[in-house]
Structure 1
Amino acid sequence: MRGIKAPDPSEVGLFYDRFAQLSAMADPEANLHFGYWDGPDDDASLPQAAARLTEIVIEKVRLGAGGHLLDVGCGIGGPGVHLAQTAGAEVTGVTVSQEQVKLANQRAAEAGVADRVRFELADAMKLPYAADSFDAAWALESIIHMPDRGQVLREMARVVRPGGRVVLTDFFERAPIPEYKRAAVETYYRETLLGPIVTLDDYPGLVREAGLMVDELIDISENVMRRTTQEASRLKQAVPAEVQQMHGDDPAFQFDPGDLTDVWEFGYLLVVAQRPRG
């Protein structure tokens, strides 16, 4: 993106500190990511569709009772807590936002899973864990903020045991974005502190160079992007007056997600990889 500098982790942390409470209000299940709709006739709300995307990632990570997941960019804890509740897994989540750590651990305690789910302040590009510490890892719409995806993937590969799965979602450029559509995408990247844009062709190399094997690269844009941006725009227009007063001057809050609705070239990718055995 033109004129967009790679985000610094400390900036991203402060960004999510600003919006942590609003995020908790927006979705009772704390799935702070885009939604997944089965088709044009699917009438799910954005929170329901976001929960469905969480379920898809849980299915792909294939982790059961006794397994230990690293949740990279854990948000306020919704997906990690849900995995612990439904699969019986242990979860360690990391984020660069102190407010998210606080809210995520509070959520784990309220859900009764704090004995096996914990959230910590840590940089995904320098994970504070020994090699082979986890059975799997995911980065659910968090690698979008990383200045170096390759470094994050190498760190995830390092801390996951052989045979373990690494699952992530990412924005990508499906086709060259026309000049008349670029302003909306560039504004979104700038105001929400996104890292360099990638293409589908970039991912096999990124995964292999991290020491992982590609299992699946799935373009799920048609199920995700248009409806999410439409629904997010609609919800933004209906925020309570107190929220508008609190965040109305924030450039990131001012951005209308509906500006991206017709940018079909801006897509959403599901990546499934694994660390080879032996």
Structure 2
Amino acid sequence: MNPRHLAVASAGPGRFALVDATDLPYPDESFDAAWALQSVVQIVDQAAALREVRRVLVPGGRFGVGDIVTHDRLPERYAASWTGTGAHTPDSLAALVEDAGFQVLEATDVTRETRCMVSWHVDELFRRLDGLTPRAADECRERYFDEISARHGTAAARLLAAVADYRAHPDYARDEAAMGFVVVVARKGESR
């Protein structure tokens, strides 16, 4: 996601690179498998990114996508806060993968078994703000925003701030149940 993440990942085993998902710098059929975890919905040109994944996979290569979805009830402006570009439904996420040329093997709604990582950060933000005067809460929010920005980049901090604002909205209790998480498993066909 950013140079700091790349540095941390590169300190361990494996090889990591910070690249443009819509223009991967790898030859055709370079990888046996690929995955995208909580990332497709944050890419502006999602179709181009998935076509690039398909291009770099060998015939028969597997592709897994795990991402945030909405079950149709969440207002779009809130869905965009959670995902960055707007939310998919379970069916539209699977259709996006299929439209990129993959054979969808399975699409599983795992909402009950997962908890979005954003929720933990927002819970922590609210815990820090709880009981503070409005002025102190604003100061704490700014410090927390800077901390998240330093660790994960300003885009992540802006997302958390938007989600925190959304969770303060009266519709939150009703709409939170509309958010979910789906895992799509797909395969690149044997022929081009």
TM-score, length of structure 2 as denominator length: 0.71
**Structure 1, unaligned runs of 5 or more:** 1-94
Q: 1:199 to 1:251 in 2, by over 3 A?
A: closer
Confirm or deny: 8 A CA contact 1:144 1:171 kept in the other structure: yes
Distance 1:130 1:100 in 2: 24
4+ residue stretches of structure 1 with deviation over 6 A? Answer: none
Deviation at 1:210, TM superposition (A): 1.4
- Is 1:137 equivalent to 2:44 in the alignment? no
**Structure 2, unaligned runs of 5 or more:** 129-139, 147-156
In structure 2, give the amino acid aligned to 1:151.
Answer: A
Deviation at 1:216, TM superposition (A): 0.7
Q: 1:166 to 1:207 in 2, by over 3 A?
A: same
- Is 1:155 equivalent to 2:52 in the alignment? yes
Which structure's relative contact order is higher, taking Cα pairs within 8 Å and 6+ residues apart? 2
Partner of residue 34, structure 1: none
In structure 2, give the amino acid aligned to 1:277.
Answer: E
- Is 1:186 equivalent to 2:91 in the alignment? no
Deviation at 1:127, TM superposition (A): 0.6
Distance 2:68 2:80 in 1: 10
1:221 to 111, 115, 133: 111
Q: What are the within-5 Å matches in structure 2 for residues 1-278 of structure 1?
A: 95=1, 97-106=2-11, 108=12, 113=13, 117-177=14-74, 182=75, 186-187=77-78, 189-190=80-81, 194-225=84-115, 229=119, 231-238=120-127, 246-248=143-145, 251-254=158-161, 255-256=163-164, 259=167, 262=174, 263-278=176-191
Distance 1:128 1:226 in 2: 30
Partner of residue 23, structure 1: none
Root-mean-square deviation (Å) = 3.2
Deviation at 1:227, TM superposition (A): 9.5
Q: Deviations over 1:182-222 (max 9, x none)?
A: 3xx735634x6612322223234322221210011111112
Distance 2:95 2:17 in 1: 30
Distance 1:210 1:201 in 2: 14
Q: How many corresponding residue pairs?
A: 167
Confirm or deny: 8 A CA contact 1:232 1:258 kept in the other structure: no
Distance 2:173 2:114 in 1: 11
Confirm or deny: 8 A CA contact 2:108 2:184 kept in the other structure: yes
In structure 2, give the amino acid aligned to 1:213.
Answer: Q
Q: 1:236 to 1:188 in 2, by over 3 A?
A: farther
Q: 1:154 to 1:268 in 2, by over 3 A?
A: same
Deviation at 1:146, TM superposition (A): 0.6
Q: 1:261 to 1:144 in 2, by over 3 A?
A: farther
Confirm or deny: 8 A CA contact 2:60 2:188 kept in the other structure: yes
Confirm or deny: 8 A CA contact 2:6 2:16 kept in the other structure: yes
Distance 2:116 2:159 in 1: 19
Distance 1:227 1:155 in 2: 27
TM-score, length of structure 1 as denominator length: 0.51
Q: 1:188 to 1:256 in 2, by over 3 A?
A: farther
